[in-house]
Amino acid sequence: MNRHGHNYFSVPFHLIMVDRAIPYDLFVNSSSSDVREHFVRIFPRTEVLGEEDLAVFKKKYHQLYVHESQRMDYMRSLIHVGQVPAHEKGDIIKGIAISYLDNLFNTEKEFSTDVLSNSIEGCKVAVESMVDVIKDYDISQIQNLIATLSFHDFYTYDHSINVSMYCIGLLKSVKPNASKDELVLAGLGGLLHDLGKIKITTDLINKPEKLTDNEYELIKKHPEFGKQLLEENPCEVCKDVDFTVISRVIHEHHENYNGTGYPSKIEGSNIHFLARLTAIADFFDAITTKRSYHEVLTTEDAINLMSKSAGKKLDPVLFEYFTKNVKQLVMGGKIYQELPENFDPCQPQNVLPFQTPKPSYKVEGFGAKDKSEAVGKVKPAEPKKKKVG
């Protein structure tokens, strides 16, 4: 969505809600000057906009606008706009999420508690809207949707939004009856998992070449940085968000299932369930989403590669749910290498750092003795019983 003016953004005609009370005011730019703009309201919020009204506006005006203060109201209304492909809604939601992430990561803007609170509130609304769009999608459908969305030149923005979407899909797979609040919490954790990178320079965050030891040690501090940001800047406008959980996702998404991760080397079910879920989404997006840095893997090869990290980097039970949610997947075993346990999915890579697997390691299936412990408090879906006869 293109931004115009200082406080207004343009909206496509076909993505304006009709035949019900719209929750935002509609404006036009009445100025003929390219230098100075003058916005005039032509339709008030809370009034019902009909198809005929919109048709008249389309003939009369080149472009309609909404005030920046009503951006979230506009975004919430998208779910009520029918006959619009999911990728169009997704692109708008993603664009709005990027605008709020940019408020956080833009070094030209002064960081404050208000900036963090308002940005998180906007991110939450973006996730709520995304849940409405993809709540019935499996992982393959989410992957296909991601492939149609526009991307930004800042790796962290796109990657975080993609991770958020995969977290929503994976939680839905593990818990089909998950409430919208639970899905939003999972998605928000995924969207904010790299919050701590606010304190690291953009050049280092976006560096696709191999990091030096000192650079990698600094990158490894971002989970701690993120946790500190939330503790030192309480979000007053999002009282319905469980920030204890969000903080743990931010702090623990680089912990490995076998206890070799960072920053605290915790393991197994001691890692928060949503942090383990985020780690899988994080890994999958890093190796399957087309970027300018490296060639991506096919879904088949990606799952095969990730399977070598099950029980080491990744929760084996959650990974099993993940693979089952990737529809029409035919496993083939084309990848005979693995990625190191210190592979950072959040960091862009020129070349994926493949290595030869250690022959002594073996995963018996993907299962665990106590699956209920492995997935925390979330009750997984009951497997379907095979018919006899």
Q: Which residues make Cβ contacts (< 8 Å) with residue 157, sequence separation at least 6?
A: 97, 98, 101, 102, 105
Sheet bearing 39-43, strands edge to edge: 3-4, 8-11, 64-67, 26-29, 39-43
Hey, what amino acid is at 61?
Answer: Y
Nearest residue to 243 (alpha-carbon basis) of 226, 224, 265, 256: 226
Residue 387: inside a domain, yes or no? no
Residue 312: inside a domain, yes or no? yes
Same domain, yes or no: 91 and 212 = yes
Q: Kindly report whether the peptide bond that precedes residue 340 is cis, defined as omega within 30 degrees of 0.
A: no
User: Are the C-beta atoms of 174 and 380 separated by less than 8 Å?
Assistant: yes
Residue 386: inside a domain, yes or no? no
SS3 389: coil
User: Are the C-beta atoms of 198 and 229 separated by less than 8 Å?
Assistant: yes
Same domain, yes or no: 295 and 340 = yes
Which pairing describes strands 8-11 and 64-67: parallel, antiparallel, or unpaired?
A: antiparallel
Q: Which two tokens stand for residue 350?
A: 């020129």
- Of the three residues 60, 84, 108, the one that is the final residue of a domain is 84
CA distance 271 to 47: 49
Same domain, yes or no: 91 and 58 = no
Residue 123: CATH number of its domain: 1.10.3210.10
The pLDDT of residue 155? 80
Same domain, yes or no: 142 and 62 = no
Q: Which residues make Cβ contacts (< 8 Å) with residue 55, sequence separation at least 6?
A: none
The pLDDT of residue 342? 64
The pLDDT of residue 336? 55
Residue 388: inside a domain, yes or no? no
Same domain, yes or no: 62 and 78 = yes
- Of the three residues 55, 84, 113, the one that is the final residue of a domain is 84
CA distance 133 to 94: 12
CA distance 343 to 355: 11
Measured in degrees and rounded to the nearest 5, phi and psi for residue 258 equal -90, 10
Measured in degrees and rounded to the nearest 5, phi and psi for residue 252 equal -115, 5
Same domain, yes or no: 347 and 222 = yes
Q: Which two tokens stand for residue 205?
A: 């965050």
Report mean pLDDT in 10-residue bins for the chain, 389 residues: 62 91 94 77 95 94 93 86 86 89 83 89 93 92 91 84 96 95 97 95 85 91 96 85 96 96 96 98 89 71 91 95 76 56 64 59 37 45 44
Same domain, yes or no: 205 and 249 = yes
Tally the domains of the chain: 2
Same domain, yes or no: 62 and 133 = no
Same domain, yes or no: 34 and 104 = no
Cα separation values, 336 from 305, 323, 355, Å: 8, 18, 9
Same domain, yes or no: 231 and 334 = yes
User: Are the C-beta atoms of 191 and 97 separated by less than 8 Å?
Assistant: yes
pTM: 0.80
Q: Which residues make Cβ contacts (< 8 Å) with residue 231, sequence separation at least 6?
A: 247
Residue 245: inside a domain, yes or no? yes
Residue 165: inside a domain, yes or no? yes
Q: Kindly report whether the peptide bond that precedes residue 263 is cis, defined as omega within 30 degrees of 0.
A: yes
Residue 227: inside a domain, yes or no? yes
Same domain, yes or no: 246 and 179 = yes
Nearest residue to 247 (alpha-carbon basis) of 263, 229, 264: 229
Same domain, yes or no: 41 and 142 = no
Residue 57: inside a domain, yes or no? yes
The pLDDT of residue 164? 97
CA distance 122 to 328: 35
Domain of residue 66 covers 1-84
- Of the three residues 39, 66, 84, the one that is the final residue of a domain is 84
